Structure 1
Amino acid sequence: MNIEEFRNFCMAKAGVTEGFPFDETVLVFKVMNKMFALTGVDTFESANLKCDPDRAEELREKYAGIKPGYHMSKKHWNTVMMDGSVSDQLIYELIDHSYDLVVEGLPKKLKVELELLKTQNI
């Protein structure tokens, strides 16, 4: 997977915006202004993705390329290496999982707004 594929997959989801809130090298993807994915744009060595804590532990035990979230809550975030040790299919699943977790935690008002965006294909 390359950064273009990663970016396109994230941006295809409803309510997603991208930006550089930390510096000019860390690209952050948010759904309804809540972060669900971030990655370095200069090297694209890894991406941080939110994850259910129990699943996060299982993934870290099973895959050498999945580690506790770098500069993030180690309980709720994983760093996924983009070195080929994790399949593209699993990375896409983990992006979906991260997005879904953030959406689940949104206030009802934002969930309603997001559903409206989905019906409008935005």
Structure 2
Amino acid sequence: MSMTEAQVARFCLDLPGAREDYKWGGVRVFSIAGNKMFALQNLRGDSLAFKVDPDLFLGHVDRPGIRPAPYLARAHWVIMNTPYPLGADELRGLLQRSHQLVVSKLPKRTQIGLKLED
């Protein structure tokens, strides 16, 4: 069973240090450490984008319903429309991984309290 837009937003905001704001005239941005984005939701609720592991990027965009995110594909972001083509558990795992990929690029002292146990 797939997640709704509201469930995705709640999950993103429950990740350590996550906050949201609105940019670019209609994009809900989930970020950490001030401005480090890990997920984007279109305010119409029809799309979701997030960062994936570089070595898994091509495998993800090969899947039905998932494609490279415009302007962010070079940073290994994917985008999908609703209804999301992934089950809830897999989508939660990928959103959590996106969060942790961004955390891992932060200075060590900033990472404290944001890392999740593997």
| TM class by smaller structure | 0.7 to 0.9
Unaligned runs of 5+ in 1: none
Number of positions where the alignment pairs a residue of Structure 1 with one of Structure 2: 113
* Alpha-carbon offset, residue 112 of structure 1: 2.7
Q: Which residue does 1:58 correspond to in 2?
A: 59
Higher relative contact order (CA 8 A, sep 6+): 2
Amino acid at match of 1:15: G
Mapped partners of 1:112, 1:83: distance in 2 = 35
Return closer, same or farther for 1:68/1:74 CA change in 2, 3 Å cut-off. farther
CA RMSD of aligned residues (A): 1.9
Structure 1 length as normaliser, TM-score? 0.82
SS in 2 for 1:20: strand
Letter in 2 for 1:7: A
Counterparts of 2:42 and 2:60, CA distance in 1? 22
Partner of 2:32: 31
Structure-2 separation of matches of 1:101 and 1:84: 21
Q: CA deviation at 1:31?
A: 1.4
Aligned residue in 1 for 2:77: 77
Letter in 2 for 1:53: P
Instruction: Quote the offset at 1:2 in angstroms.
Output: 1.5
Residue 113 of structure 1: how far off its partner (Å) = 5.7
TM-score where L is the length of structure 2: 0.84
Q: Percent identity?
A: 28
Distance 1:39 1:8, change over 3 A: same
CA contact (8 A) 1:48 1:70 kept: no
Shift of 1:82: 2.3
Q: Which runs of 5+ in 2 are unaligned?
A: none
Larger radius of gyration: 1
